[in-house]
Amino acid sequence: SSELTQDPAVSVALGQTVRITCQGDSLRSYYASWYQQKPGQAPVLVIYGKNNRPSGIPDRFSGSSSGNTASLTITGAQAEDEADYYCNSRDSSGRRGVFGTGTKVNVL
Amino acid sequence: EVQLVQSGAEVKKPGESLKISCKGSGYSFPNYWIGWVRQMPGKGLEWMGIVFPGDSDTRYSPSFQGQVTISADKSFNSAYLQWSSLKASDTAIYYCARGPPHDYGGNFDYWGQGTLVTVSS
């Protein structure tokens, strides 16, 4: 089982805000990165570090962290944001990585 | 342009060996980590392990230690994932991805297209 836990699914109305969380002890020491994956496609990095977006990622995506919880927020969700989202950080040893369990975001 | 190009789909029988590849271009291949990620059918992403081509430093998830071998050859700008004896449960898509020099946990900014491995008798 993963050391990073996410809610299996969340729903958001078009244009509204949704927050996806990722919990794990290692997040007290390390930032999480976040990936979006659409069916049949490779994952795409959307947030890394404290709150950094790679080139081309819309500014409606933002990241934050507090204690053992990292969060990805989509402000003004669009239909194209419907996807699976995964967090990623170090494991409890700090010497390897681990992915979260994944959250499916449904845009209504 | 940074690219990671993976080898093509494979169909194998249980007990057979396999080595799949990931070739990087458009950046200094020795100086970035390359991670391998498994995605079983309909399931989530699993961090398998990571290699730094510059010095071959390799780290494995405990779940995959001893089950696969990860390597890299900087002279060919390529990383590899290999099995000595495949099982049906190894059926999955395997992705390679690039990680920054300072972080062996992830932060994968570029991904390969994935290699589908099917193991069936």
What confidence tens digit (pLDDT) does each residue in B38-86 have?
999 999 999 999 999 999 999 999 999 999 999 999 999 999 999 999 9
Collect all residues of chain B within an 8 Å Cβ-Cβ radius of residue A4. none
Q: Which residues of A touch B96 (CB under 8 A)?
A: none
Residue contact A99–B107, C-beta within 8 A: no
- pLDDT over 70 for what percent of chain B? 100
Q: Mind telling me how many Å the CA of B29 is from chain A's nearest CA?
A: 19
Residue from A17, A33, A21 nearest A69 by CA: A21
A51 CB-contact burial (10 Å; exposed 0-12 / middle 13-18 / buried 19+): middle
Q: A60, A74 in Cβ contact below 8 A? A: yes
Mean pLDDT of A23-52: 96
Percent of chain A predicted with pLDDT > 70: 98
More confident residue, A92 or B50: B50
pLDDT category at A1 given cuts 50, 70, 90 is: low
Average pLDDT over residues B27-39: 97
Euclidean distance between the first and the last CA atom of chain A, given in angstroms as a whole number = 30
SS3 A20: strand
Integer angstrom CA distances of residue A29 from A32, A48, A66, B33, B120: 10, 15, 11, 21, 42
What pLDDT band is residue B27 in, cutting at 50, 70 and 90? Answer: very high
Cβ–Cβ gap A88/B112 under 8 Å: no
pLDDT at residue B103 is higher than 90: no
Residues of B in contact with A44 (CB under 8 A): 111
